[in-house]
Amino acid sequence: MDSSSGRYLTSCRGGASDPTTFKPCDPVTLADAPFIPNALDFAYRAFLADNTVALSVPPGFSNAQAVDSASFAGRGASFTVYRRRIPPQKPLTSRTNVDGLLIEIRDKRKLPEVVAYKVAVIEFSDKGEATHTSWHAIDAAIMELYLSTHRPILQHPNLVDFLGLAWGANPFNSLQKLPVLMVEFAEYGSLSQLQQREYLGIETRRKLCLDVCKGLHMLHSCGIVHGDIKAQNVLIFADAEHKYRAKVNNFGYSQVINTERSSLLLGGTRPWKAPEAKTAVKVSDAKYTDIYLLSLFIWCTFAHGQNIFKLLVDPSNQCEEFYAEAEKLKETEELAAQTDISAWYLKAIMATTYGDTGQFLQHFQSLQQQLQQNNAQANHSAVGIDDIEKILCAIPPVFFQTLEPLKQQLIATVQRLGLYDAMKGAVTIGLSNEPHQRDLDQIMVALGHRQHFFTWRHWTGMEPSIQGYLTTTYIQRGEGEVKKGMINPPEAFLLTALYINGYGVDKDTSQALRWLFNAWGVKHPLASAYGYRIARAIGLTPDNADSVIETLELMALRGSRIALEDLAMLSKDTYEKTKKTIRDVLAGTGANFFWKTEMLHGFAHNMWMRTFENITILLENSSQFDSIADYTANKRGDRILHVAACCGQTEAIGALLNRFPSLEVNQLNDQGETPLLCACRAGYTDTVLWLTSNGATASVAPNGESPLHWLVSFDDEEIESVGPALIQAGADTNAKTTTFIAYQAAFPASLDIDRLPEGYPIGWARDELVEYLLKHGADVMKAGENYDEEVLQSQDVGAFKMADINCACGVDLRTPLLEAVRWNRPTMVNLLLEHGAHATGASKNPFSGLASTWTALHVLAFISHGADINLSSLSSGHLSFTNPTTIFGHVIASNARNSITRLRYLLGSADCLNFIVEPTRQWTALHRAAAAHIDDEFRGTDATEAAELDWADIDWSANREIMNELLLQFNDPEQLDAVEESMGLTAMHLAVLAGNEAAVKLLLDKGARSDVPSADGQGPTAAVGIQMERLPMSEVGARPGEEEVATRKRCNDLLNPRAQPAA
């Protein structure tokens, strides 16, 4: 994230490249109204991605405790990134005993080994809105989430995988949650970091550049401009075939192309922006600025990660002079002309240092030998050049002047082999000063894609605390809008559902009705379609029946089946008239199949109807078609027979089949549907009966839609004739749709109950149809010998017998009572208790997922009077210890950010709080903080094995804060140098053994001794030596990283200060 010069690079959104004029965009000056980001934007996008993410993060690792205790990994312009290791996965099987039948469900989720938490630097108001100072950061975060959860992006191998949304503690307000993006962790860091650490061969560089091209190509195909392509925003992952795989990251400065706007101001990092991006660019040209950035990225990657402008511009130029020179290069054709390796190749190698630079002589001799071999082999491969470049990169720059005789020989060899020709061709294409000539496809050849609509269903999958937070946010925002005389209809209708069901708020029918009528009053389609039914269920009948009938009629015509059903209760005449219109004109569903804009060849729907009703004219006109079987009547690809079937024109179908042999009763339209399926969807009994008696088969469409699914289009008395006809025609009672079905064109059926869900005919059926389908082979899970009899009685006595009231189900093994307590349903709790539910029943511990120890009192977070503040336990939250540890010790060992408030709460009870946090070994609070990961392990859960923590799992900045806070309270010599009983270790010993540099320094600053011997006579200084000797002996799989080794060496320096040189 830092430049090679050491300057911290940041990206800017929507500004100019000129550093003297740049200032952040003021949202108020934009043509559109300012967009104020909200926490709800995060939640909605995450819900959309739930079923698409490739890996699953266990719930225990997506809460605030997991986020706050993760180790620091890096910081960028908009995010701080933390790393959390997920312990090894283990098989999970949940078992439920239902009436003697053991049901076993295996969890097939795949867990990542490490997850990255991306925490935006933001603050929310009490309405869930980002404060003004946080708008820029949260806007970038929402854009990142918006694009990361887009299905094509989620599924692309060269775009970083989104794993889900976590909710961390908000340091600005403890009552609020902070949305945190979970993404896959890049074990090799960014491409910039990788190229600083090791030499990459030419083929590897080419492959990584091609990876980035593929990722960018997908973004562009989705209408997305990345805006900040650079090595710092390309992450590197392991690849089984090529060792490394590149993935494009960081969409915080991306833009979605909106054709309603003519131009865009694009952000980016100096000096990488395209020359035309200094001012607004045409929307249609925006992607070409990305291609310019890509070309510079490719060039820098082949230049071993060096800033290409620093190789081409006078090195004496600094800061603004440097940027000015870079802009001059970009504005002319001179930059593209510099792509020849003679202009930059050796400069890049001189600026790059890998390997052991102390072995200059050996490297020089090896280089001479390699060049001689290359000259002797005209067709030498890239491997030889890789060896030569690797040797050159290990030679200190000050010795390069001694290579003068070999320079021209090296350049000639590289040019002869043409190994950089691909790079030159790709970069030249992308650096064209004519944007339209920048072709991403050609570059790839040269180298070898805010609004959210929640429904109450989203709330059912949330944890109670998240329910409460988001519901409160919606209520506060809604009340604020009402005070301004404004109504957000979808949100008002959502609040209706939340108040009715008590999701995140106490049930309140008066508030539910208030929000219902707010939404209904502004003609919100869902409130208009369902308002009458909801109000009636609550106990209120609207006064103006005529107005309700008019509204229901309109919503029914738009496609709401619920509105049509309710219309039948209020006005039979209006219902019959509306139903006929829906069948005759709207394909039985409110569809737009036959709207004027959808019809072809100038024939409107009413013209087809008049033709169907005049058989003579129909046959005469149809005879004029070259191929009547291929004639399509509308844009969805319906043939003449399908149109007739949709409109119930049975006589016309018979006449057409009799006259034209090329027409078949089972002809398919472009959707793979038969006329029989179309007739069933529209609900035409006579047409269905005629077709089935004349050879029609009840086949299934490619989306799984079958004639039996559409039994819902027929009245109950019609089922007696339609059902047997379809069964006889081969209808499959267990045909399954592959997606939800919503043909309504003017009604938001995809949002609520008018949508027909993915599944079987029995899942679509109303109550009266269920029994019919069951009798004709519909398959449901059968439990018990008397199942058939119990099904018939289920509407009276419920789906489960009284004996099952304490049955624990699901992965978490909760009883009905525990579920009722968890969702704060006091009425249900009392009802269950009255009927014999056990109040002491327990479910799985949510942190371990193992023992069933979580009772209703745990769920309610009940604390009795006189609770023991020094009570000890082996496990708490995510962690477990070797010996029982007090609550105080658990908080310290969590090493979680934002722990200071918890510590101060406990320290405020100093009169009864024990300094000893682990009685068995007499470890003090200072011992526990200094030990960090020692004797600490991830708690085993239902999904993961237990695993020891290691040095890299600790957030050392959080540990430092905790130690500093403890030392404010415990700082007398007796406390600082307290000796534990197992090995006679002080806190200083443990700090050294843990490689805890900050703890060593803080303890020394407070006067802790560094010479107290342990039980075996070793002082902390000796412990450092022992640890340093052990480091190289670690197994390969557990070899410490460079940062850990360096930290342990600094611990040694603190305990063994070197003598200062004489003045």
* DSSP assigned state of 855: -
pLDDT recorded at residue 816:
85
Name the amino acid, one letter, at 865. Answer: H
What value does the mean pLDDT take over residues 343-370?
Answer: 70
What is the SS3 assignment for 543?
coil
pLDDT tens-place string over residues 849-903? 566 766 766 555 443 444 577 888 888 778 888 899 998 999 999 988 888 888 9
What value does the mean pLDDT take over residues 64-74?
Answer: 86
Residue 547 above 60 pLDDT? yes
pLDDT recorded at residue 236:
96
pLDDT recorded at residue 27:
31
Task: State the pLDDT confidence band at 53, using cuts at 50, 70 and 90.
Answer: low
Top-confidence residue, 730 or 322:
730
pLDDT recorded at residue 858:
59
In angstroms, rounded to a whole number, what is the distance separating the alpha carbons of residues 435 and 458? 44
- Percent of the chain past pLDDT 90, that is, above it, reads 27
pLDDT recorded at residue 153:
82
Task: State the pLDDT confidence band at 31, using cuts at 50, 70 and 90.
Answer: very low
- Within 10 A of 1017 (CB to CB), how many other CB atoms are there? 8
pLDDT recorded at residue 450:
40
- Within 10 A of 1013 (CB to CB), how many other CB atoms are there? 14
pLDDT recorded at residue 787:
43
pLDDT tens-place string over residues 550-581? 989 988 888 888 899 899 999 999 999 999 99
Which residue is it, tokens 């119930």? Answer: 648
pLDDT recorded at residue 691:
97
- Rank 81-85, 240-244, 676-680 by mean pLDDT and report only the highest: 676-680
pLDDT tens-place string over residues 611-665? 999 999 999 999 988 899 999 999 999 999 999 999 999 999 999 999 999 999 9
What value does the mean pLDDT take over residues 276-288?
Answer: 85
Lowest mean pLDDT segment, chosen from 181-195, 196-210, 607-621, 894-908:
894-908
In angstroms, rounded to a whole number, what is the distance separating the alpha carbons of residues 751 and 444? 41
In angstroms, rounded to a whole number, what is the distance separating the alpha carbons of residues 619 and 633? 16
Task: Find the radius of gyration of the CA atoms of the chain.
Answer: 35
- Enumerate domains of the chain plus CATH numbers: 35-185 (3.30.200.20), 456-509+516-522 (no CATH), 586-775 (1.25.40.20), 800-860 (no CATH), 863-1055 (1.25.40.20)
Which structure tokens are listed for 561? Answer: 């089946």
pLDDT tens-place string over residues 521-543? 877 888 888 889 888 888 887 77
Whether 180 and 121 have beta carbons less than 8 Å apart is answered as: no
pLDDT tens-place string over residues 810-826? 667 788 888 888 777 88
Lowest mean pLDDT segment, chosen from 461-470, 767-776, 866-875, 952-961:
767-776
pLDDT recorded at residue 655:
96
In angstroms, rounded to a whole number, what is the distance separating the alpha carbons of residues 630 and 668? 10
pLDDT tens-place string over residues 337-350? 888 888 898 888 88
What value does the mean pLDDT take over residues 965-969?
Answer: 94
Residue 1062 above 60 pLDDT? no
Average per-residue pLDDT for the chain: 79
The CA-CA-CA angle for residues 849, 84, 50, to 5°, reads 65
pLDDT recorded at residue 159:
92
- Rank 172-176, 332-336, 420-424 by mean pLDDT and report only the highest: 420-424
The strand order across the sheet containing 947-948 reads: 872-876, 879-886, 936-938, 947-948
pTM for the model stands at 0.57
Residue 174 above 80 pLDDT? no
Task: State the pLDDT confidence band at 795, using cuts at 50, 70 and 90.
Answer: very low
CA 316 centroid distance within chain: 46
Whether 835 and 816 have beta carbons less than 8 Å apart is answered as: no
In angstroms, rounded to a whole number, what is the distance separating the alpha carbons of residues 232 and 252? 13
Q: How far is CA 566 from CA 527, 530, 717, 872, in A?
A: 13, 9, 19, 61
- Within 10 A of 2 (CB to CB), how many other CB atoms are there? 12
In angstroms, rounded to a whole number, what is the distance separating the alpha carbons of residues 216 and 194? 21
Residue 450 CB-density burial (10 A; 0-12 exposed, 13-18 middle, 19+ buried):
middle
What value does the mean pLDDT take over residues 970-989?
Answer: 93
In angstroms, rounded to a whole number, what is the distance separating the alpha carbons of residues 266 and 678? 49
What value does the mean pLDDT take over residues 820-843?
Answer: 82
* DSSP assigned state of 227: -
pLDDT tens-place string over residues 452-474? 556 667 787 777 877 888 888 88
Residue 441's nearest CA partner among 213, 117, 135, 691 is 213
Top-confidence residue, 78 or 565:
565
pLDDT tens-place string over residues 246-256? 999 888 778 87
Residue 1007 above 90 pLDDT? yes
What value does the mean pLDDT take over residues 421-437?
Answer: 89
In angstroms, rounded to a whole number, what is the distance separating the alpha carbons of residues 3 and 621? 75
- Within 10 A of 615 (CB to CB), how many other CB atoms are there? 16
Residue 476 above 50 pLDDT? yes
Lowest mean pLDDT segment, chosen from 181-185, 483-487, 667-671, 984-988:
483-487
Residue 561's nearest CA partner among 731, 715, 759, 778 is 715
Lowest mean pLDDT segment, chosen from 190-204, 774-788, 1015-1029:
774-788
